Amino acid sequence: MTDLTEELIERLVRYCAIDSQSDADSPSSPSTAIQLDMQRLLVDELTAMGAQDVTLTDYGAVLATIPGTAEGPVVGFLAHVDTAPQFNATGVKPRVIRGYNGGAITYPDDPSLSLTPDAFPYLGEKRGHDIVTASGLTLLGADDKAGVAILMSAARRMLADLSIPRPTLRLAFTPDEEIGRGVDARLPADLGADFAYTFDGGRVGEIEDETFSADGAVVTIRGVSIHPGYATGKLVNAIHLAARIIETLPQATMTPETTAGREGFIHATDMEGGASEMRLKLIIRDFEREGLEQKGAILRKVCEAVAATEPRASITCEITPQYRNMRYWLEDDMTPVELARESARDIGLEPVSIPIRGGTDGSRLTEMGIPCPNLFTGMQNIHGPLEWISAQDMALAAQLCLAISARAIRS
């Protein structure tokens, strides 16, 4: 396991240093050209280790085959190469804290930051582990370059050793997962798996078969623009109307910071524009279709109510589906979930299944016909400067990948 841990550290540090942030405002696929820097590297590495059918698709995904050593279903394993656009991801300087001593972790590039077990109790469980963080000015990008490192390390082992049992395996490394565009309409057919798994989860042992359902919303407010010196009775300030919409939405009961467990939310993510026109971006989340529809209705009613106070303004609200709770499909056939749970027990872990307060490429893949639960990597505090991961947790995830592959030929 020491050799595996060292390989995972080396891969994670190297991958995280590559800027591959996605951009929700870009219409291209992938949304940023820099993601292809990661993808071309993976193509080269997969080819060098002997993977078959290595392909970089025209929609930016890398696909590859690990030939099977026995009959069984075709199993897919996925991770995404893009990092979240919510925080700076340029100039990431990963660092490895060997044999973590259980105390506070400080950051050389931002001395005001501190990562402590008191604030994050899971860290306190990792005394003696090798912890990887960024330097304080960026996120780390373990979401999901940890998943990429895990699958690449597991793949190298299987390709180097034909005695490791597995059916035919298909790997996919996708772009744009963080902006909800990771699963191109062509991916299910190109992947060609009977079922699959994303390695894009958190704590050791988590095997997730339920996610949020998700919609995205764009509210456009057009006011009346005029020189402020001559604006009496004429100016309609779009900024004021945008602020009124935000203020009217439920803030004490329906925002990410006020909800937990199975509660959904309406989350304003972006506000841009000026006095003449403003655009608000929001995400809507709930575990149930009905709850998602109710929250969308709330947003529309708030927009209509604010619009009614100023008939000279134009306020539109466009809501677009993003993904749906994978549970709706997995509950009809829990085979891949049970396979993952039994495989976790094979390597001495007790599986834990909790609803994800988020979504994965697996949400869309499951909806599109390839059942795809999500598996742990160890990543913590994602999308911010306090992101960290234990290399030993990653090693357990790589072992789970191997265990699933072995058990699949017996299922």
Arithmetic mean of pLDDT, 349-361: 93
Q: Using CA atoms, how far apart are residues 179 and 335, in angstroms rounded to an integer?
A: 29
Arithmetic mean of pLDDT, 100-127: 97
Residue 411 pLDDT level (bands cut at 50, 70, 90): low
Q: Using CA atoms, how far apart are residues 104 and 102, in angstroms rounded to an integer?
A: 7
CB 75 within 8 A of CB 142: no
Q: According to the model, what pLDDT value does residue 111 have?
A: 95
In degrees and rounded to multiples of 5, residue 407 shows phi and psi of -70, -25
Count of C-beta atoms within a 10 Å radius of residue 273: 16
Arithmetic mean of pLDDT, 317-341: 95
To the nearest 5 percent, what fractions of the chain are helix, strand and coil? 35, 25, 45
Average pLDDT, the chain: 96
Q: Using CA atoms, how far apart are residues 18 and 255, in angstroms rounded to an integer?
A: 33
**289, β-bridge pairs:** none
The alpha carbon of residue 178 and the mean position of all alpha carbons in its chain are separated, in whole angstroms, by 5
The class of domain 213-323 in CATH terms is alpha beta
Q: Enumerate the domain spans of the chain.
A: 2-211+325-408, 213-323
Model pLDDT for residues 120-143, shown as the tens digit of each residue: 999 999 999 999 999 999 999 999
E strand map for 223-376: 265-273, 277-286, 314-323, 374-376
CB 200 within 8 A of CB 377: yes
> Per-residue pLDDT for 336 more than 70?
yes
Domain 2-211+325-408 and domain 213-323 have a common topology: no
* Those residues with Cβ within 8 angstroms of residue 379's Cβ, 6 or more apart along the chain or in another chain: 142, 143, 144, 146, 201, 202, 387, 389
> Which residue is associated with the tokens 């793949």?
155
CB 211 within 8 A of CB 325: yes
Binding residue ranges: 80, 143, 178, 200, 383
Residues annotated as part of the active site: 82, 177
Arithmetic mean of pLDDT, 31-43: 97
Q: Using CA atoms, how far apart are residues 144 and 82, in angstroms rounded to an integer?
A: 7
Arithmetic mean of pLDDT, 240-253: 95
Arithmetic mean of pLDDT, 385-409: 98
Q: According to the model, what pLDDT value does residue 2 have?
A: 78
Model pLDDT for residues 368-389, shown as the tens digit of each residue: 999 999 999 999 999 999 999 9
Maximal CA-CA distance, the chain: 81
Residue 42 pLDDT level (bands cut at 50, 70, 90): very high
**284, β-bridge pairs:** 215, 266
Strands 374-376 and 195-201: parallel
Residue 248 pLDDT level (bands cut at 50, 70, 90): very high
What is the architecture of the domain spanning 2-211+325-408? 3-Layer(aba) Sandwich (3.40)
> Per-residue pLDDT for 410 more than 80?
no
Arithmetic mean of pLDDT, 289-309: 97
Amino acid at 342: E
Indicate the helix (H) or strand (E) that contains 298: helix 289-308
* Those residues with Cβ within 8 angstroms of residue 246's Cβ, 6 or more apart along the chain or in another chain: 268, 271, 280
CA distances to 56, 171, 336, 360 from 63, rounded to whole Å, are 7, 6, 21, 18
CA distances to 144, 302, 346, 361, 362 from 200, rounded to whole Å, are 6, 35, 21, 9, 9
> Per-residue pLDDT for 326 more than 90?
yes
Model pLDDT for residues 179-227, shown as the tens digit of each residue: 989 999 999 999 999 999 999 999 999 999 999 999 999 999 999 999 8
Q: According to the model, what pLDDT value does residue 354 have?
A: 87
Binding residue ranges for Zn(2+): 80, 143, 178, 200, 383
Least confident of 213-217, 270-274, 313-317, 353-357: 353-357
Q: Using CA atoms, how far apart are residues 398 and 146, in angstroms rounded to an integer?
A: 10
Q: What is the DSSP letter of 224?
A: B
What secondary structure, in 3-state letters, does 116-152 show? CCCCCHHHHCCCCCCEEECCCCCCCCHHHHHHHHHHH
Indicate the helix (H) or strand (E) that contains 80: strand 75-80
Q: According to the model, what pLDDT value does residue 1 have?
A: 64
